[in-house]
Amino acid sequence: MTSPQGRRMKRIIVALAAPALVAAFVIAAGCASLATPEAPSSGSPAPGGTSAAVAVSQQVKDGAALYVAFACIRCHAPNGVGGVPNRLNVGGDDTIPALNNAYRDPSEQFHNAVQITQVMMQGSILSAKPGVINMPSWKGVVNSAQAGAIAAYILAGFPQVTGVAYDANPATAADIYSAFACISCHGQLGGASASPPPAPNPLSPDKAVPLLRNPADNVTTADMLSTIMAGSIPPPGKVGEILMPAWGQILSTQQVAKILPYIPDGPKGKALPAPPSASPLPLAGGSATSATGAPAASASP
């Protein structure tokens, strides 16, 4: 019998059948990536191209590491300058917005951590159209200490932090799964006992983010591809509910081709080698020193 996660995936796939055919053609044809090319760098440089690291608090250092670990950097870019294409968002911004106040309109600048953490926890659905990149809710994935650290890093103006590595083009499937924060939401691969487990998603029909390499499901590669490329929003789409972002304009075609054989459900998933152990993230225990306080009205993300 198909699990609730399997039924959910099938509901999503019906809605995304057309984008799947387009995406499959792109992969098969070997076309160039839609993602904006990036050069490898170390950390997230300060505005204006300053290369020298500066003295910052431990909270800001943790925030810099988490900005990379939770893949904020993949959408909002190094430096928080934004500009990653969101071409299918017709009628709205066709790029992902900047987080760095140096690049934001004065009326939309962040002035305190509460503004930023509310956006993180609530998310923002720009459009239900398949392929539009929406801001997922990170509630249940990022704890309050981690959210506060990311906010501190943003408010500090994205200083370069020594020791924070950013690989713009991870080479292996395991590195891609980690670098694009798949592991943060879907958990570790390899069955229900894998650690960490999928993130809770209590407002969704399934109450959790779907497990990948789920032996109880047998989602096809084409189905997986369509969901990665076009994203999905659990119906009807609620504030604070974790959604699957559309990765079609962020992941390169080569990265998609590598990740697909790494995450299959059913018997194929059971036959794959165990993935490497997950790396511990800063403030995973939820240090009280980085608490964010109660949310208030937020600026536009």
Residue 218 has pLDDT above 80, yes or no: yes
Residue 48 has pLDDT above 60, yes or no: no
Task: Decide: residue 232, CB within 10 A, 0-12 exposed, 13-18 middle, 19+ buried.
Answer: buried
> Is 295 within the bounds of a domain?
no
What gap in Å lies between CA 33 and CA 19, rounded to an integer?
16
Q: What is the pLDDT of residues 115-137, one digit of tens each?
A: 999 999 999 999 999 999 999 99
For residue 238, the model assigns a pLDDT of: 84
Helix (H, G, I), strand (E, B) or coil at 256: helix
> Is 289 within the bounds of a domain?
no
Q: What is the pLDDT of residues 270-300, one digit of tens each?
A: 899 999 999 999 999 886 443 333 333 333 3
> Is 297 within the bounds of a domain?
no
For residue 281, the model assigns a pLDDT of: 96
> Is 51 within the bounds of a domain?
yes
> Is 165 within the bounds of a domain?
yes
Q: How many domains, in total, are found in the chain?
A: 1
Domain that holds residue 232: 4-284
> Is 262 within the bounds of a domain?
yes
The pTM is what? Answer: 0.80
Tokens of 228: 């990665």
Buried b (16+ CB within 10 A) or exposed e, 243-282: bbbbbbbbbbbbbbebbbebbbbbeebeeeeebeeeeebb
What gap in Å lies between CA 95 and CA 235, rounded to an integer?
25
> Is 227 within the bounds of a domain?
yes
The band of 61, judged by pLDDT with boundaries at 50, 70 and 90, is very high
Mean pLDDT of the chain, nearest integer: 82
